[in-house]
Structure 1
Amino acid sequence: MLKLNLADFSLEHFMAHYWQQKPVVIRQGFDHFTDLISPNDLAGLACEEEVESRLVYKKDDQWQAEVGPFESYQRFGKEGWTLVVQAVNHWSPEVAELVKPFAFIPKWRLDDVMISYATPGGGVGPHIDLYDVFICQGSGRRHWRVGDLGEHKQFAAHAALLHTEPFEAIIDVELAPGDILYIPPGFPHEGVALEESMSFSVGFRAKSSCDLLSGLADYVIDKELGKALLSDSKRPICQHQGQINASDFSIIKAQLQAVLDNNTLMADFAGSYLSKTKCALDLQALDEPLAAKEVVNELLAQPLLRTGGLRCLYVDETVTQGVCYIEGERFDFGPACQQAVVALCDNDALSHALLERGLQNPEFVRQLTEWVNAGFWYFQD
């Protein structure tokens, strides 16, 4: 099992002084770290239609980018190119293990584990990310430069590549296997492979206000909520037809605020919206579906494992009613199932003991069986 080693500071110190504030190098954050997937297997994933991947390289000193799937890599030679594959934790249980050491950050903030394989001189160019990332160095070495926050001008080096102009480095290091580089949003950075190498990036993304408002609007429309009309009875006679006066403006704001103040509505929106995965899941539906009794009995013998990347969340506002949100859907099992719902969402491996209260509820057992048969959870054997 991977364990995060912080020799120079505690997790509490990291969260108080580095998280979303400034980058830091964590030397040997993972002892004896080895690649969690081979370059060949990573290249194989990038051949699949469902997997998001891209190749970045230079041609005639101009940046190029191609989007997968890829059939072959021979034409790119042995130097100067990088293969980037998104959400590898969805497809590889070994890679999914890399998420666990970062459990001090909640799952709703997790984006994915992106892996890049680079040949000597390979990289994706200087750029700025809008998410927090822990870059864990696997095999080989890479040279990383990180700049400070500032007014960095960005430009399209290619239609699929947004780069930033040259920057002065506040971090200039080589990463060796097991080293970790943490970079918050907004800090320009660039990594260049010094030799054939692999990097494993655990990303945490926050939604913008624009994203949240757009998602909320879609949710309210889909659920046919927020249909109460603006009310302005007993209003005074209008003196200026083109004016939205202070009183009217207050009514409009109150109309919108009423949606935001509806805690149950907002909890259901947050849980549903944030539990939806961005990339495809590797769901292996059972050829011979299990019966509910078989699932319960099997739980007595072995744990039930969550498929990589599946998002399972609960919100304090509604969890007391046994409500959880899985892959964008709301499930309500009743107050007696609260403990089981929390266990379901907090644990990657589920035992009979963890789910004991829920297993006494026929609806919970029925839904759990449906999830198992669809591949959301699975038994190892």
Structure 2
Amino acid sequence: MKIDFKDLTPETFLAEYWQKKPLIIKGAFANFEDSIDANELAGLAMEEFIESRIISCNNSKWDVKHGPFEDFSEFGEANWTLLVQAVNHWSADVDSLIEPFKFIPNWRIDDVMVSFSTPGGGVGPHLDQYDVFIIQGEGKRRWQVGKPDASLTELIPHEDLKQVSMFNAVIDEITEPGDLLYIPPNHPHNGVSIDNSINYSVGFQAPSAQELISAFADYQLDNHLFEQRFDDSKRRATDKPEEIEGSDLNLLHNVMTSAFKDEGLVQDFLGKYLTTVHHTLNLLVPVEPLPIELIKELLAEGEVLYPVLGLKCILINQHEIKRLFVNGENFPVDTDTIELAKLLASKKPLTKNLVESSLNCLKNQQLLTSVINKGLWCFECD
């Protein structure tokens, strides 16, 4: 499955549109078939461990209900939308929708939210702080997208719903199955379903400086780092006790920023932070740890190892620094294990032919058994 960019290429898309302006590509996916139907989506919304909500609007009154849901009859035949987060964690077909967007690094991709809307259904005009590609599945939907506009008024028609006032649209189109809409951050948009429709939203994580610094502070607290006080051993007497001098400001600034000067520490934090999944994963931890002998035997019989759906992996391979991060954990990597680490980071299914030569090395055996026995990779788990 590939995007038909028409007159564009991935490179020109990134240069001209990515985080700059919205784009609609009609027929981006020829003969598109839905990866999940409305009934399957409703079934996921009945699960307590899957985040879902229904947004409705009747007689200009907005309402939000959070799952799990037992019944949908109360919502009627029109004017509501079911949204289910991280559906790619539970459906291999939905997870495959990420593949066409692999011209953007994996670490930027968050999850695939799927929505089912009845006629008139939508969530109202709003802004998102991240990039999103929306694939139109079943049905039709009218999409309006505008430019960033500081004059827009923030509206809160319900305590769980943030909207903005209506905007001037630069895109006003009806999307049909296989159409693709790209919306950059802070671009107001509004989608209203024309008939029963399904949309697949491939979202991208874009942490703010505030989020990164806050998480880094928590990381330091959790690991008891940088607890030492600043060094005041060279203090001289002052005749201006009411002032804080430049030398003291510099000293305090250095204390605050010293943590960011440790490249290895920052990389460890970022690897763990960016691979931490914020929605439930279907981790399949073996009842008893699988020994390498059994793993080799199963591979020899033609069994295939698959990563758990929705798993996030990052490989840092910078000169002397080699690290593999999976689901918020740091796995040691060196020159002996780098090839296996690349395979794991790419989340490719692992067959005997792919890993056989690697498994002659004890370090590779330890790496593979570790990810399997933590439930991150398993046989036939897709």
Flag whether TM exceeds 0.5 (same fold): yes
Q: How does 1:126-165 map to 2 (within 5 A)?
A: 126-151=125-150, 152-165=152-165
Deviates more, 1:275-284 or 1:86-95: 275-284
Check whether the contact 1:333–1:364 (CA below 8 A) recurs between aligned residues. no
Deviation at 1:364, TM superposition (A): 3.8
Measured against aligned partners, the alpha-carbon deviations of 1:236-256 in whole angstroms (never above 9, x if no partner) come to: 212222322211111122222
Does residue 1:292 correspond to 2:261, yes or no? no
* 1-structure distance, mates of 2:306, 2:320: 24
RMSD over aligned Cα, in angstroms?
1.8
Number of the residue aligned with 2:306: 305
What's the secondary structure of 2:336's corresponding residue?
Answer: helix
Does residue 1:324 correspond to 2:324, yes or no? yes
Check whether the contact 1:58–1:64 (CA below 8 A) recurs between aligned residues. yes
Number of the residue aligned with 1:29: 28
Query: 5+ residue gaps in structure 1?
Result: none
Number of the residue aligned with 2:247: 247
TM-score by length of 1: 0.94
Check whether the contact 1:321–1:335 (CA below 8 A) recurs between aligned residues. no
Number of the residue aligned with 2:172: 172
* 2-structure distance, mates of 1:227, 1:355: 44
Deviates more, 1:239-248 or 1:351-360: 351-360
Amino acid at match of 1:313: I
What's the secondary structure of 2:114's corresponding residue?
Answer: strand
* 2-structure distance, mates of 1:275, 1:284: 18
* 1-structure distance, mates of 2:276, 2:134: 24
Number of the residue aligned with 2:66: 67
Check whether the contact 1:322–1:337 (CA below 8 A) recurs between aligned residues. no
Check whether the contact 1:321–1:332 (CA below 8 A) recurs between aligned residues. no
Measured against aligned partners, the alpha-carbon deviations of 1:285-334 in whole angstroms (never above 9, x if no partner) come to: 345653321212333424321111111112234x8555211111111143
Amino acid at match of 1:312: C
Number of the residue aligned with 2:369: 369
* 1-structure distance, mates of 2:289, 2:234: 63
Amino acid at match of 1:345: A
Measured against aligned partners, the alpha-carbon deviations of 1:251-289 in whole angstroms (never above 9, x if no partner) come to: 122222221111100110010111100101122334565
Percent of aligned positions that are identical: 39
What's the secondary structure of 1:225's corresponding residue?
Answer: coil
Number of the residue aligned with 1:46: 45
Q: Flag the 1:321–1:271 CA change in 2: closer, same or farther, 3 A.
A: same
* 1-structure distance, mates of 2:340, 2:322: 8
* 1-structure distance, mates of 2:370, 2:283: 13
Q: Flag the 1:291–1:316 CA change in 2: closer, same or farther, 3 A.
A: closer
* 1-structure distance, mates of 2:134, 2:61: 26
Deviates more, 1:284-293 or 1:147-156: 284-293
* 2-structure distance, mates of 1:294, 1:29: 44
* 2-structure distance, mates of 1:124, 1:380: 37
Deviation at 1:218, TM superposition (A): 0.9
Check whether the contact 2:54–2:83 (CA below 8 A) recurs between aligned residues. yes
* 2-structure distance, mates of 1:193, 1:291: 52
What's the secondary structure of 1:315's corresponding residue?
Answer: strand
* 1-structure distance, mates of 2:259, 2:288: 45
Does residue 1:274 correspond to 2:311, yes or no? no
* 1-structure distance, mates of 2:352, 2:313: 18
Check whether the contact 1:142–1:192 (CA below 8 A) recurs between aligned residues. yes
Q: Flag the 1:225–1:359 CA change in 2: closer, same or farther, 3 A.
A: farther
Q: Flag the 1:47–1:291 CA change in 2: closer, same or farther, 3 A.
A: same
Number of the residue aligned with 1:77: 76
Deviation at 1:95, TM superposition (A): 0.5
Deviates more, 1:228-237 or 1:76-85: 228-237
Check whether the contact 2:313–2:325 (CA below 8 A) recurs between aligned residues. yes
Measured against aligned partners, the alpha-carbon deviations of 1:48-77 in whole angstroms (never above 9, x if no partner) come to: 011000000024421100110000001111
Does residue 1:89 correspond to 2:88, yes or no? yes
What's the secondary structure of 1:345's corresponding residue?
Answer: helix
* 1-structure distance, mates of 2:315, 2:13: 26
Check whether the contact 2:130–2:205 (CA below 8 A) recurs between aligned residues. yes
TM-score by length of 2: 0.94
Number of the residue aligned with 1:347: 347
Deviates more, 1:204-213 or 1:221-230: 221-230
Check whether the contact 2:230–2:252 (CA below 8 A) recurs between aligned residues. yes
What's the secondary structure of 2:162's corresponding residue?
Answer: strand
Amino acid at match of 1:56: I
